[in-house]
């Protein structure tokens, strides 16, 4: 005779029962999801996520206003990662040494030192001094933008408008091609950066990215959620 199977526990019975019932996930899940190399289609809405790969050298307190106040609805996600000061100082000193050696080599060869290298060297020395004084701290910053649209033509039009508006401010944006699903999830309110495309920033620069500098963004109801 075969031994009898042990009786099912209450937890197992509840799990089996829940499989045959409608859950919250079933209710809110879209009817269809289509993933393309440069966009998503969820139900009847198209989405495309952009990431910022280049920033201007100088920024003002309201430099993200064209994005925050853009005429079309956008999902914007910002990720901020504090960096250990000692590690940054070591890397910064090494970079300064490399740039000084490059400038000195050009001078010894009778060449004019590259202006871009001299500018970067000057900025690095100023940052090193501020970090040493404790006046600045170092962070990595990621900025992602998801664009929704009712159709593909409108999605392309809005994407081009955003890239043109930010490009005029020397902000370089790129489409997260072949990573669209991960990029879309990055802009959901889950605090999960699935792309990790970041830029080094000090405290002063990071403070200028604070998004609540608009007098046009108002909401009489609801609760503001911050994820950290």
The structural domains of the chain, with segments of one domain joined by +, span 32-83+140-207, 85-133
> Phi/psi zone of residue 148: left (φ > 0), alpha (ψ -120 to 50 degrees), beta?
beta
User: pLDDT tens for residues 79-138?
Assistant: 999 988 777 788 888 888 988 888 888 787 777 767 888 888 888 888 888 878 777 888
Please report the pLDDT score of residue 216 as a whole number. Answer: 58
State yes or no: pLDDT of 221 exceeds 70: no
* 112 close to 106: Cβ distance less than 8 angstroms: yes
Please report the pLDDT score of residue 81 as a whole number. Answer: 94
Task: Give the Cα separation of 52 and 56 in Å (integer).
Answer: 11
Highest mean pLDDT: which range of 73-77, 96-100, 224-228:
73-77
Query: 228 pLDDT band (50/70/90 cuts)?
Result: low
Please report the pLDDT score of residue 151 as a whole number. Answer: 96
Burial class (CB in 10 A: 0-12, 13-18, 19+), 155: buried
């Amino acid at each position: 005779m075969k031994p009898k199977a042990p009786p099912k526990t209450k937890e197992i019975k509840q799990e089996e029962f829940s499989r045959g019932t409608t859950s919250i996930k079933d209710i809110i899940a879209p009817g269809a999801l289509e993933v393309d190399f440069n966009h998503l289609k969820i139900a009847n809405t198209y989405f495309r996520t952009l990431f910022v790969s280049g920033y201007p050298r100088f920024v003002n307190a309201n430099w993200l206003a064209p994005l925050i106040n853009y005429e079309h609805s956008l999902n914007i996600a910002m990720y901020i990662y504090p960096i250990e000061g000692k590690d940054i100082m070591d890397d910064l000193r090494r970079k300064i040494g490399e740039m000084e050696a490059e400038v000195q080599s050009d001078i010894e060869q009778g060449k004019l030192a590259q202006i871009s290298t001299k500018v970067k060297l000057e900025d690095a020395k100023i940052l090193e001094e501020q970090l040493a004084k404790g006046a600045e701290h170092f962070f990595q910053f990621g900025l992602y933008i998801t664009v929704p649209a009712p159709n593909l033509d409108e999605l392309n039009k809005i994407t081009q408008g955003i890239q043109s508006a930010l490009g005029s401010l020397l902000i370089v944006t790129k489409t997260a091609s072949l990573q669209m699903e991960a990029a879309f999830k990055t802009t959901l309110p889950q605090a999960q950066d699935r792309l990790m495309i970041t830029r080094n920033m000090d405290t002063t620069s990071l403070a200028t990215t604070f998004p609540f500098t608009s007098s046009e963004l108002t909401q009489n109801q609801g609760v503001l959620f911050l994820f950290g």
